[in-house]
Homo-oligomer: A and B are copies of this chain.
Amino acid sequence: MNKLNNDIQKKNILEILNKFKTGIGLLILVIVLSFMSPYFLTIPNILNIIRQVSIIAIVSFGMTMVILTGGIDLSVGSMLAFSGAISAGMMVNSGLNVFLAIFIGLAAGTALGFFNGLAVAKAKLPAFIVTLAMMTIARGFTLIYTNGRPISGFNETFRFFGAGYLGRIPIPVVIMFMFLVIIYILLKKTPFGRYIYAIGGNETATKLSGINTEKIKVAVYALNGFLAAVSGIILTSRLNSAQPMSGEGYELDAIAAVVLGGTSLSGGSGTVIGTIVGALIIAVLNNGLNLLNVSSFYQLVAKGAVILLAVFLDRKSQQQ
């Protein structure tokens, strides 16, 4: 009787594990770290990690969609910085109302993304080059706009988006979950989402089915710009300062989260749930290395090795 129960439980656990295959690397990482540091598996630290992950996660959601279409976006970090700077400048220098300033910041990010989309979808230029160019251009814009100096001095309302709480839950986490759900539904349940997969799977076939693939792609890049802008505003609020160089290197982190999460760089398959797992792997790793006080040079080696191991475990468990 007991054995049977055991068997059933075992089977259930295996099934659950199977369903969340992408998470197995993360799971093992969490288990190992909780043995290594007594601080790791505590509620404050867990909240801390998900707050830290939220900014890169929001960027990664947009990146997931771009990569699903078979594209790439290297300009997310610069778009993030630009939007943050614009919002900050509108408030501090131009004295605009917080919400109007945020709106303008979001519009700025969306516009840059929209331009990426036009160049990729309409002018048929390679996404890598287009967004690499946008990466420098938007960074240039940001440096020009800020004259290379941080902008700070925000009011409390603005601070809320990055530093506020809803009960015990930090606002950035709330915003991240909101977008996670929205984009999950968008991808799974709406025609727009299905077309994104279709384009990445076989663009010609999608076009032959009468779908305006160009429009979809432009929308995806614009949405990606929008999400980068959301992150930029949260980061600015959280840091209490718009940094002209913020978001540098985020493109690689975001792409890494997407790919770690099981999305193929050639497009067509992957999920946003995988992406959040990927982003968590990176964040947990950074947190763990800090908690264990690993010295800086060895941190690099450890980080690379663990990422390699995580993706290795994931892919092996998926092959079974």
Q: Cβ of A300 and Cβ of B137 under 8 Å apart? A: yes
CB-based contact B139/A300 at 8 Å = yes
CA distance A61 to B179 in the complex (A): 41
Q: Tell me if A186 is interfacial: C-beta within 8 Å of chain B.
A: no
Q: Is the CB of B297 within 8 A of A133?
A: no
State how many copies of this chain the complex holds: 2
**Which of chain B's residues have a CB closer than 8 A to the CB of A79?**
none
Quick check: is A125 within 8 A (CB to CB) of the other chain? yes
How many chain A residues sit at the interface, stated as a range, is 35 or more
Residues of chain B within 8 A of A312, CB atoms compared: 123, 125
**27 A–B contacts from the bound complex (CB under 8 Å):** A72-B265, A74-B252, A124-B315, A126-B259, A128-B256, A128-B259, A130-B308, A132-B252, A132-B304, A132-B307, A133-B303, A134-B304, A136-B300, A136-B301, A136-B303, A137-B301, A137-B304, A137-B308, A139-B300, A140-B297, A140-B298, A140-B301, A140-B302, A140-B303, A141-B301, A144-B301, A148-B297
Please give me the 6 A-B residue pairs with the lowest Cβ-Cβ distance, nearest first: A140-B300, A137-B304, A140-B301, A136-B304, A133-B304, A143-B297
